[in-house]
Amino acid sequence: MAACVTQQNPDPSFTLSLPVADSNPTLVQGTQKDLNVAIGRQNGFSEAVSLSLEKRGGGSLATGLSYSFNPGTASGTSSTLTLNVSTGTAPGVYDLQVTGTAGRATQYAYLTLTVQEKPQPGSFSLAVNPSSRSLERPASGSANASAEVSIVRDKFSEAVSLSLEQADGKPLPTGVSAGFSPASATGGSSTLTLTVSPQAQAGSYSLRVKGTAGGTTKYAPFTLSVTAPAPPPPPPPPPPGGANLTLLRSYTWMQSSPEGDQPAVEAMFYRPRQFKSGVTIPDEQNHGAIDDAGAYQGWDVLTPPNGGKHGGVWQYDKPVFVRLTLSRDARLAVVWRADPARVPNWLKNNWSEQGKVRIAGQDRRVFVKNFSAGQVVELGSVYDPGQRQAQNLETYWVLFAEKDGTPPAEPPQLGSPAAEPNKACPQWVHDQYTTEVTMPNGAKRVLATWHPQVDPVYWCYFGHDHGSDPGLLAPGYKVAFGYVQDDLHNSGVLPEPHPGFKNYVWERDGYRWLFVHHFGTGGAGRVCRQFHSLEVAVASASTGEIVAKLHINTDFGPSTNNNTDLPLEATCPQGVLTPSQVADQSNGERKIHVYDGTQGSLNGYEPWRSDVSGNILGLDLGGLTFDTVNPITACTGPVCSSLMRIGNSTGETRLFSFATDPGGPALSIDASKAPGGGGEFFTDVYGKKLLPPSDPGAVRQYVKPGLRLEVRNPRHTECFTRDAFFMFYEGCDLAANVPQAFMNIEGALTDKN
């Protein structure tokens, strides 16, 4: 009997999507438009899906905006959404979401509606579709994107001269340029082409298209997001005990979406040393039985998604389908499981064919090639670009061996029980991830530090994630979880559990920033715990010099009911303020879902907004807010005495926003406002009082003298990552355009995340 690597069969589920043409509609005041909503049904899902429309993140639609679905409860694979924009709807950009519910399951599809002004007789109005674009800053040359400018006229025939400028009328930022075709438009449209050069700074820019004709000038808002190219993964620390890292370090497949190809890890699995005769590898088409592994016995195997579950969301002829990084030099083999007579050029012309293996009763051709450590390996699709002929559900497998073709050796076991690939890690593996810190009074402490979702030696699962690899901030940088500890933690009344430490690394204006925030959406402690630890570190992106490193127990205000925005009703431990008591003394907030018997009460993000007023660190967080897209639990009722799981959420998809109010404070660090004008100094855990380093409660702080950083974002922007392995937050964009990346590697995260 064949051995079987166990994997649960996918549950029946559904998806919602809009075609690209319908995801960014423009409607003039007083008009309506029909949009198509596709309902993808997977693995036998047959329930009726109830559809509704709301603003993105949940909430009522703008005044004058209405809708209907036909059908409103869909048993088939589509529904028509009719959008109605009245003459009273204010012109502007609206981020919306279609919400579909079936039982306890909820799915979303997102769209951005631009409402264009209905011009007065003898005038015109402008709108841009789409209303935002995102471009990655190129290392050389330029990057380009286009948008369509709509010109609506009412008894107006003059040519409209078009230009692009910042929202305040200033010239475009350095490295950003624009052109229009035509630049002087006599018709109803013009094409805007944006160009970004290597001199552009990463950021989100509020711009406007300016149209001038005679004595009339009109504007249309537009947002350009310039993202920083993801840095190469930081070198991994040397494994303990002389063990080797697994040959494969990270992987993604490229998933089609309205925003373009997006990196994904869903339904992809790496199985070290498991390509063996007699083993059955889980496969979505049940074609994974290895009859004869031949010369590839004992190699590692990577299985991309395969079959009907993803047939509607990928293309089979994209230039790059799979992208890998390697820990060390390796020999790779592609096991071709599709039509043996239709091997694409990227494979047959660049790899060496070496023998066959037999899988599911079929002989499969094998192609081999060597690659170097750290090299980004890009593999094509089932068909060459433009050559797709029919959907082929059998994607290839990728095998890995040492560079001489030797199967990788099993790593030494340094504890008990044994660590096994594709299973939960034993505690001794987790306990290897520590760092030693020297406290201000000279005492030494060994604290837990960052680790990836999956251990890179044993490929076992930790069940929780800590966000960005801190080595992205600066080479060798380590975070010390629990460096700031208050009395609630030390006494055990409301401790900060280890899985709750999350990192966020991002870049702006030549500096890398790191937030290390403690929170969680799975536990009851968040209902009553007002203060949570936060580290803010900043480094030069070019040199790695640390220019700021601040620790503060940050006020996240009262927990509030997401349905009413009122403080939660809760009984807190003795001596701990209730949410109602906190509400009058804090500008922070933790908005928690409260189940009111409807699915809608469980929809949307869980945002935590910070308040660091009164600190002496020279730090202003500009309303820094952490958003969990898929919170794990909700209160079971208005009195939050117990929690319920929200579907199968694991809380790993997290965004953040800051300084989105043009009239409010920026995210800033100013050494001139720190004690002594910067340098090293010591405070209490709240960053409000200077302490001598000998004080047991002293916290070390550092701001480079002369440093002054100030960062802002446009309204309605969120910062995001699409990299499940290293989680570099590559850019910030309008909420409606932020990709909702699946970050749960091999589905191994749990509700303890």
3-state helix, strand, coil in the chain (%, to 5): 5, 40, 50
Determine the average pLDDT of the residues in 722-750.
86
Quick one: what percent of the chain has pLDDT higher than 70?
95
Q: What is the pLDDT of residue 478?
A: 95
> 715 with 735: CB under 8 angstroms?
no
Q: Select the more confidently predicted residue: 20 or 133.
A: 133
Q: What is the pLDDT of residue 185?
A: 95
Q: Which domains does the chain have, with CATH numbers?
A: 13-116 (2.60.40.10), 123-152+160-184+191-227 (2.60.40.10), 248-402 (no CATH), 463-733 (no CATH)
For the chain, helix (H) and strand (E) counts, in that order, are 5, 52
pLDDT tens by residue, 522-537: 999 999 999 999 999 9
Determine the average pLDDT of the residues in 260-278.
91
> 735 with 520: CB under 8 angstroms?
no
The whole-angstrom separation of Cα 468 and Cα 727 is: 4
Q: Does residue 412 have a cis peptide bond before it, meaning omega lies within 30 degrees of 0?
A: no
pLDDT category at 308 given cuts 50, 70, 90 is very low
Secondary structure (3-state) at 472 = helix
pLDDT category at 310 given cuts 50, 70, 90 is very low
Quick one: what percent of the chain has pLDDT higher than 90?
68
Determine the average pLDDT of the residues in 542-570.
94
Sheet strand arrangement including 73-74: 26-28, 105-116, 92-102, 49-55, 73-74
Identify the residue whose tokens are 């500096």. 511
pLDDT category at 738 given cuts 50, 70, 90 is confident
pLDDT tens by residue, 584-625: 889 999 999 999 887 778 877 899 999 999 999 999 999 999
Q: Select the more confidently predicted residue: 401 or 238.
A: 401
The model carries a pTM of: 0.82
Q: What is the pLDDT of residue 214?
A: 84
The whole-angstrom separation of Cα 674 and Cα 80 is: 58
Determine the average pLDDT of the residues in 71-82.
95
Identify the residue whose tokens are 């560079």. 403
pLDDT category at 40 given cuts 50, 70, 90 is confident
pLDDT category at 387 given cuts 50, 70, 90 is low
pLDDT tens by residue, 404-414: 999 999 999 99
Q: What is the pLDDT of residue 257?
A: 64
Query: What is the DSSP code string of 332-398?
Result: EEEEE-S-TT---HHHHTTSEEEEEEEETTEEEEEEEEEE-TTPEEEE--SS-TT---S------EE
**pLDDT over threshold 70, residue 315:** no
**pLDDT over threshold 90, residue 213:** yes
Q: Mean pLDDT across the chain, nearest whole number?
A: 90
The whole-angstrom separation of Cα 608 and Cα 398 is: 41
Q: What is the pLDDT of residue 316?
A: 62
pLDDT tens by residue, 53-67: 998 767 789 999 999
